Amino acid sequence: MRLIIIDDHELFGGGLEQLLLADDPSLNIVRVISLDAGIAAITEQEPFDLVLLDLHIPPSTGPDTLNSLMQSFPALPVVILTASDSFQDMEACMKLGAMGYITKAIPPDQMLHALREIWAGKSFISSGLKASNFAAPKESNEFESSLERYNLTPRHKQIVRLIVEGDSNKDIANKLYIAEGTVKIHVSALLKNLGIDRRTQIASRLMTH
């Protein structure tokens, strides 16, 4: 798995890199200290599977930082790492499409747990920031409702939509800025979840159940 850490606090960023590699030496991690450098790396290097983004990094601050990144890479999975425990910041970031919101005060073991949850396709919000009046936007049409019935992860929903549109694994990898091998893993998990053998059956399964 390829990750990029975008954080201008070198002590935190370096410590996080060491923590992740100690837990999984197979990770391929790139670390940069500015948003511009992060955008350049994502544009020029091999696809990344996940972005770990500091919320307050020049030249942007707060949710504007995430918005700046997602304007260039709207489908790239991004996790917010921040010192901000503001509910408003968290709500704004999750509505913009962040996969998780992790405060930097979290203990190392909980940080690893949070990232494992996100790697598994789930979302994660640091404890103390969740509130009953916060909910992700809900899809309204019949196709989206059928996705909800199968409890698909956000990433799997993205991939299903692209498969139904006729995209190949390579096309999906390019659009989501992830490796083609990662797409294959997701597709295999999708087929198992839906109880079918071929990707060509996905649309009919969703529309008839």
User: Strand ranges (DSSP E) for the chain?
Assistant: 2-6, 28-32, 50-54, 78-82, 100-103, 124-125
Q: Are residues 55 and 103 in the same domain?
A: yes
User: Which of 5-19, 50-64, 92-106, 129-143 is predicted with the least confidence, judged by mean pLDDT?
Assistant: 129-143
Q: 138 falls in which pLDDT band (50, 70, 90)? A: very low
Q: Are residues 174 and 112 in the same domain?
A: no
pLDDT of residue 139 exceeding 80: no
Residue 94 lies in a domain: yes
Q: Are residues 156 and 119 in the same domain?
A: no
Domain that holds residue 64: 2-125
Residue 133 lies in a domain: no
Looking at residue 180, which CATH number applies to its domain? 1.10.10.10
Q: Give the pLDDT mean for 176-204.
A: 82
Where among 97, 125, 153 does a domain terminate? 125
pLDDT of residue 14: 93
Mean per-residue pLDDT of the chain: 82
pLDDT of residue 38: 92
Cβ within 8 Å of residue 163, ≥6 positions away: 172, 187, 199, 202, 203
pLDDT of residue 41 exceeding 60: yes
Q: Are residues 117 and 154 in the same domain?
A: no
Q: Give the pLDDT mean for 98-124.
A: 85
